[in-house]
């Protein structure tokens, strides 16, 4: 079964072709980072318009890469939420229209489920069950994953997501967009410990997260000091240490509680080198292992959507009847996609 995946939830347009017999055949992503850089963040209307411009060229690209024709597609999976309403609508309408034209089923997919399952696309994938850390600009969550569609939320951020805190702190330091990678790069030049920032909820006794106070602590340092380039690097290093220490501690705690030795990390922040170092070291002490998606699949992409849709269809998921109506879900609670 050949499944086309379409991702358009925010500022990346991603398309991919996944074959249930041969694996991932092709994928292509266009990022809007350069377009939004002048604004310091994603402008929803501009994002939607750019998705419109990119979908057909990206479709032609993946078809060429995979050496298949449109009529060879058996099903289409697309991100229906959560995300920016206009951006989601572009991808959903394109997917549904193409499905009608080809006479194939179209399946709405939860964006976070795509991230959750993306490490299964790696050459050495994890086996169920495992603990998953979903960590991105919009979400920070720990989940117990027993199988496809069998998810239990163990803990999440009560305010800012880790990626959001990275971006906001980067802006305080005068770094460019996107802020997270820029702050991580600056942190490599700094020395953690010179500025002592809090580790929010590190000893809370549960698996919840909070990063808003950490961002405020960094703001206090910026406001109360005239920071040199070296000072900013040291603050960035300390901020990164604080975030990664909390993420690692809670993730390992979740593995201990559920007596599991496999931890999956997905989402854009999962590409952070310091986070990977901490997680690898602490899970090794536990006798366990961390599984990551390929670097190119850490951010939003069509491959994870195609794969997720394929797994759902293999499990017998039945797309809604084709009556010309479809819905997007900009807010889609986790407990409603199992």
Number of compact structural domains in the chain: 2
141 and 158 in one domain? yes
Average pLDDT, the chain: 94
Q: For the chain, give the secondary structure using H, E and C.
A: CEEEEEECCCCEEEEEEEECCCEEEEEEEEECHHHHHCCCCCCHHHHHHHHHHHHHHHHHHHHHHHCCCHHHCCEEEEEEECCCHHHHHHHHHHHHHHHHHHCCCEEEEEHHHHHHHHHHHCCCCCCCCEEEEEECCCCEEEEEEEECCEEEEEEEECCCCHHHHHHHHHHHCCCCCCHHHHHHHHHCCCCCCCCCCCCCCCCCCCCCECCHHHHHHHHHHHHHCCCCHHHHHHHHHHHHHHHHHHHHHHHHHHHHHHCCCEEEEECHHHHCHHHHHHHHHHHHHHCCEEECCCHHHCCCCHHHHHHHHHHHHHCCCCCCCCCCCCCCCCCCCHHHCC
Flag whether 58 is in a domain: yes
pLDDT higher than 70, residue 185? yes
pLDDT higher than 60, residue 323? no
Report pLDDT for 321.
53
Flag whether 121 is in a domain: no
Range of the domain at 148: 127-292
Report pLDDT for 177.
85
Flag whether 94 is in a domain: yes
pLDDT grade for 317, boundaries at 50, 70 and 90: confident
Please state the rounded mean pLDDT for residues 27-52: 95
226 and 156 in one domain? yes
Please state the rounded mean pLDDT for residues 19-29: 98
Report pLDDT for 320.
59
60 and 166 in one domain? no
140 and 95 in one domain? no
The string of pLDDT tens digits covering residues 130-162 is 999 999 888 899 999 999 999 999 999 999 999
Flag whether 122 is in a domain: no
The string of pLDDT tens digits covering residues 244-265 is 999 999 999 999 999 999 999 9
Which CATH number covers residue 242?
3.30.420.40
pLDDT grade for 276, boundaries at 50, 70 and 90: very high
Percent of the residues in the chain that have a pLDDT greater than 70, as a whole number: 97
């Amino acid at each position: 079964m050949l499944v086309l995946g379409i991702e358009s939830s925010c500022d990346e347009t991603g398309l991919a072709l996944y074959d249930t017999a041969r694996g991932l055949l092709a994928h292509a992503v266009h990022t809007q980072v350069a377009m939004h850089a002048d604004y310091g963040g994603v402008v929803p209307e501009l994002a939607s318009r750019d998705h419109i411009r990119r979908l057909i060229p990206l479709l032609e690209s993946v078809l060429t890469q995979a050496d298949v024709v449109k009529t060879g597609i058996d099903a289409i999976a697309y991100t229906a939420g959560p995300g920016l309403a206009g951006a989601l609508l572009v991808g959903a309408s394109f997917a549904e229209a193409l499905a009608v034209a080809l006479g194939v089923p179209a399946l709405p997919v939860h964006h976070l489920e795509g991230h959750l399952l993306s490490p299964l696309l790696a050459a050495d994938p994890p086996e169920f069950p495992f603990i998953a850390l979903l960590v991105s600009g919009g979400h920070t969550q720990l989940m117990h994953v027993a199988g496809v569609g069998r998810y239990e939320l163990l803990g999440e951020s009560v305010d800012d997501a880790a990626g959001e805190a990275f971006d906001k702190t980067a802006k305080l330091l005068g770094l460019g967009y996107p802020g997270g990678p820029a702050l991580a790069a600056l942190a490599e030049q700094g020395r953690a410990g010179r500025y002592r920032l809090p580790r929010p909820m590190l000893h809370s006794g549960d698996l919840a997260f909070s990063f808003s106070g950490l961002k405020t602590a960094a703001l206090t340092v910026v406001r109360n000091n005239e920071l040199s380039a070296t000072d900013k690097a040291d603050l960035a290093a300390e901020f990164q240490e604080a975030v990664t220490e909390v993420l690692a501690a809670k993730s390992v705690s979740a593995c201990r509680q559920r007596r599991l030795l496999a931890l999956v990390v997905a989402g854009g922040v999962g590409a952070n080198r310091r986070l990977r170092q901490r997680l690898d070291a602490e899970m090794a002490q536990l006798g366990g292992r961390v599984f990551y998606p390929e670097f190119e699949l850490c951010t939003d992409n069509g491959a994870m959507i195609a794969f997720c849709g394929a797994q759902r269809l293999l499990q017998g998921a039945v797309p809604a009847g084709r009556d010309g109506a479809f819905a997007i879900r900009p807010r889609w609670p986790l407990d409603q996609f199992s």
